[in-house]
Chain A
Amino acid sequence: MINGIWLSMIVIGFLFAAVNGRMDEFTAAVFDGAKSGVTVSFGLISVLVFWLGIMRIAEDAGLLKKIAKVLGPVVSFLFPDVPKGHPAIGYILSNMSANLLGLGNAATPMGIKAMQELQTLNPDKETATPAMCTLLALNTASITLIPATLIAIRLNYGSADPAGIVGTTLAATAVATLAAIAADRLFRRLSLLRKPPKPPAASRTVEASRGGKPLNSSSLKG
């Protein structure tokens, strides 16, 4: 699907540029886009380096495992294939709380770290696991308590009640998140029906040093 979307954006863009006589703009847009891709990635370096450092301290101190143990049950129904107490759960929880508080620059590094932890449980390193899809669904819907950027912009343009959108945003984001979770569940079921899980080759990929319990085939059930 991603291949199709990517290709069609370029091809449709080319056709429209041809009809509208915008070939120069097309070319400029290519290099603008490439440049902002690099700029955004470089912008991520500082937050990634910093937060991964802090989170490593938390991991070494056993804090993430503790969080995973205490709050794990809250999210474990969303991530049935992740072993209980696995550090991935700690990162997923950090990512979700950073999203909730609107701390975008902390949420991304924690989400990426959570992905990397989920990748250690992944038997096929190029194909997303159901748990990865769930984490992504939660992040694209990104449930937020405070839309800080929007409040700042509204204040800037002289709003009488800049925080007036907090309630409506919370309602909309909650609905979007529920829809994401429901759709994720549905697709997870469908994909299991279509392609029965491969038996236990997966169990060897769990890092013993992390103390994760080995995956057995039953844990692949949605």
Chain B
Amino acid sequence: MYQLISLISAWAIPVMITFIPLYAFTRKVPVYESFVEGAKDGFGTAIAIIPHLVGMLVAISVFRASGALDYLMGFIAPALQGLGVPAEVLPLGLLRPLTGTGSLAYTTDLIRVHGPDSLIGMIASTIQGSTDTTLYVLTVYFGAVGIRNGRYALKVGLFSDVVGFVAAIAVCLLVFG
């Protein structure tokens, strides 16, 4: 199953990039001109994201560098440890929604120290792989179209992060524990 999925994954982009223009050509679309016309928007969209991303990443970076994040992580870890969850993975619950590179670095470090096939390594990999960085996704997607009032989107994103975090730990304890 995994082999099949990764085969599809490897083929998906080359197939799309070949098939889409080919199909369009048979429909008499001027493919190259069409490509250039659409591609023009890419630059402006990326530039429009800059202020949003700079603002958000500065706040997160300051929050981490000041030691506030470490303090908070040290505060939460013992509270959940009683449930048989390895304390090492708990900071990921805070880190994951905030920063993709930060949590990836933390996960990589856990894998390096405890080994990829240890329970900690398995849980950390599962947490890292199962959700995306909510603040980043929110900033980029809403930033790109100029939405200022995201309404309840952030709450929903953070809620699903919590659920995903708990589910990742529970499933790993069940399967590997």
A residues sitting closer than 8 Å to B (CB atoms) are: 1-2, 5-6, 9-10, 12-17, 20, 22, 25-26, 28-30, 32-34, 36-38, 40-42, 44-45, 48-63, 98, 101-103, 106, 108-109, 111-112, 115-116, 118-119, 125-128, 132-133, 135-137, 139-142, 144-150, 153-154, 157-169, 171-173, 175-177, 179-180, 183-184, 187-188, 190-191
Other A-B pairs, 12, CB within 8 Å; known A29-B61, A180-B160: A49-B39, A53-B34, A56-B38, A57-B31, A61-B23, A116-B145, A140-B157, A141-B164, A166-B2, A175-B163, A180-B156, A191-B152
B-chain residues with CB within 8 Å of residue A38 when the two chains form the complex:
50, 53-54
Interface string of B11-37 (1 = CB under 8 A from A): 011001100110110010101001111
- In this complex, the member of B57, B127, B152, B156 whose beta carbon has the largest number of chain A beta carbons within 10 angstroms is B156
Known: A37-B50, A146-B9, A148-B9. Is A191-B141 also a contact (CB below 8 A)? no
For the complex formed, measure the closest distance between the CB of A132 and the CB atoms of chain B, giving whole angstroms: 7
Which one, B27, B97, B144, B171, contacts A115 given CB within 8 A? B144
B46 touches A44 (CB 8 A): yes
B116 touches A140 (CB 8 A): no
B-chain residues with CB within 8 Å of residue A22 when the two chains form the complex:
65-67
Which one, A34, A101, A135, contacts B9 given CB within 8 A? A101
Which one, B45, B63, B129, B156, contacts A9 given CB within 8 A? B63
User: What band does the interface of chain B fall in when counting residues whose beta carbon is under 8 Å from A?
Assistant: 35 or more
A-chain residues with CB within 8 Å of residue B46 when the two chains form the complex:
41-42, 44-45, 48-49
A29 touches B129 (CB 8 A): no
Interface membership of B147, Cβ < 8 A? yes
Q: How far is the CA of A172 from the CA of B125 in the complex (A)?
A: 11
Interface string of B125-166 (1 = CB under 8 A from A): 111111111100110111011111111111111011101100
Q: How far is the CA of A10 from the CA of B66 in the complex (A)?
A: 10
B115 touches A173 (CB 8 A): no
B150 touches A26 (CB 8 A): no
For the complex formed, measure the closest distance between the CB of A12 and the CB atoms of chain B, giving whole angstroms: 5
Which one, B66, B117, B142, contacts A160 given CB within 8 A? B117
Interface membership of B122, Cβ < 8 A? yes
Known: A157-B112, A168-B171. Is A54-B35 also a contact (CB below 8 A)? yes
Known: A30-B58, A30-B61, A175-B167. Is A59-B2 also a contact (CB below 8 A)? no
Which one, A13, A162, A177, contacts B63 given CB within 8 A? A13
B130 touches A144 (CB 8 A): yes
- In this complex, the member of A33, A52, A163 whose beta carbon has the largest number of chain B beta carbons within 10 angstroms is A33
A-chain residues with CB within 8 Å of residue B43 when the two chains form the complex:
45, 48-49
